[in-house]
Structure 1
């Protein structure tokens, strides 16, 4: 349904790669004016340029989503440059590279706190400043990205990853209830096995082993494309989901249906 977001401005964090890049592209293809944000300026600019070359409205703004002043400036500049903010996808989330190996009692505080910062703090800051604008400007729709690790036991990313992703689900529900009467909907998706850069931190061979090991837990036994995750975000932000808020949507090949 091309054009469903005509006249609307969408902000996507972690938009240089993975689910964020796929989401920015999907918003643009559906008519939104898209602001892509990431700490990777080179790749983020490339993504925005590719969207413009395809005839879409897209700009890149570098921001570190762990820093409140940069998130506040990102939202403010988005509004000033494009006249508003109607849609947002908060995709930022990462685990500490050394957190998956050790057992719980051997994991470092540094790894735990890093993951909480990357997954939970970033989502909180983005929600805070996106909502602050939307309250006074007719509402909007926001989608966060959590993980199956926040719903079920999964050793991927260590204790910090699952804990922070579970907290993102609760934060999503809290915001959804708090602002439903002011026209703001807040939902999240919980991706299943979706090959993004997080899988490739230890190299392509390890990534293949990890993906193969996890896919066998899905009734639909294949990896999930980033575009399939983006499709869930697009639906949650669309008018087709106008009565959906506080919902966590697993896009997981049936993984959670088994429990």
Structure 2
């Protein structure tokens, strides 16, 4: 059973909605002090306020995770507000709307580069500055969010999304091996069909069709809840997973078991 995080400080990116919001809530409910980082100020503040109203320690810090200055700043603010950083969940990762739907040869370079930046640049910057603190302060546990699109072809998000998420897996493994001897564990989850706002970038009708088409490819034929993805992050960051690092945990209804 996944242990509690009393006395720990957690930083969650993309925490205003979807898997990030569910992860921030899960950390808080397990006793951690939580910093919610997101570019969406209104929704992020609402999430943090809701956690505080429920009796949890939570603060929102506006953060553009593609900016090194802002990523460095949110790590610094986390330490200033709650006195440390022990846990991190790097959830940021998105596909440009123009890369969802069109065939590979119809996608623009701008959309491809934007998607790579949202998936890979953000994860690199978060890891860099989280590890920079943890390496001098007793270690920690980090969970990144990749995707089934980074492991196999599933048709969603286009070439940039698949390439960016595959790179997140390699970056996770590189960091895990590089810092294992300094008490830092780095893992990632690979979500299956978990409808979030990213699915709806090309409109509700396309999103519903895509979700329905994907669910039938899962042995467990239903959509996956964001709370179920958060549960995987909780386990990877907990002491129950003390000997787990560099791991990719598919939370996918059995999709990858078929390959």
For Structure 1 versus Structure 2, the TM-score category normalised by the shorter chain is over 0.9
Over residues 184-207 of structure 1, what are the superposed CA-to-partner deviations in whole Å (9 max), with x where a residue is unaligned?
A: 000000000000001122333322
What is the Cα deviation at residue 103 of structure 1? 1.9
TM-score normalised by structure 2 residue count: 0.98
Gaps of 5+ in 2: none
1:53-202 alignment, distance < 5 Å = 53-202=53-202
State the match for 2:25 in structure 1: 25
What is the Cα deviation at residue 2 of structure 1? 8.6
Whether the aligned pair in 2 keeps the contact of 1:63 and 1:70 (CA below 8 Å) is: yes
For 2:177, what is the secondary structure of its paired residue? helix
For 1:224, what is the secondary structure of its paired residue? coil
For 1:249, what is the secondary structure of its paired residue? strand
Q: How many residues align?
A: 259
What is the Cα deviation at residue 34 of structure 1? 0.3
Q: Does 1:232 align with 2:232?
A: yes
Using the alignment, how far apart are the partners of 2:162 and 2:171 within structure 1?
Answer: 14
Q: 4+ residue stretches of structure 1 with deviation over 4 A?
A: none
Using the alignment, how far apart are the partners of 2:27 and 2:64 within structure 1?
Answer: 22
Gaps of 5+ in 1: none
RMSD (Å), alpha carbons: 1.0
Using the alignment, how far apart are the partners of 2:67 and 2:184 within structure 1?
Answer: 24
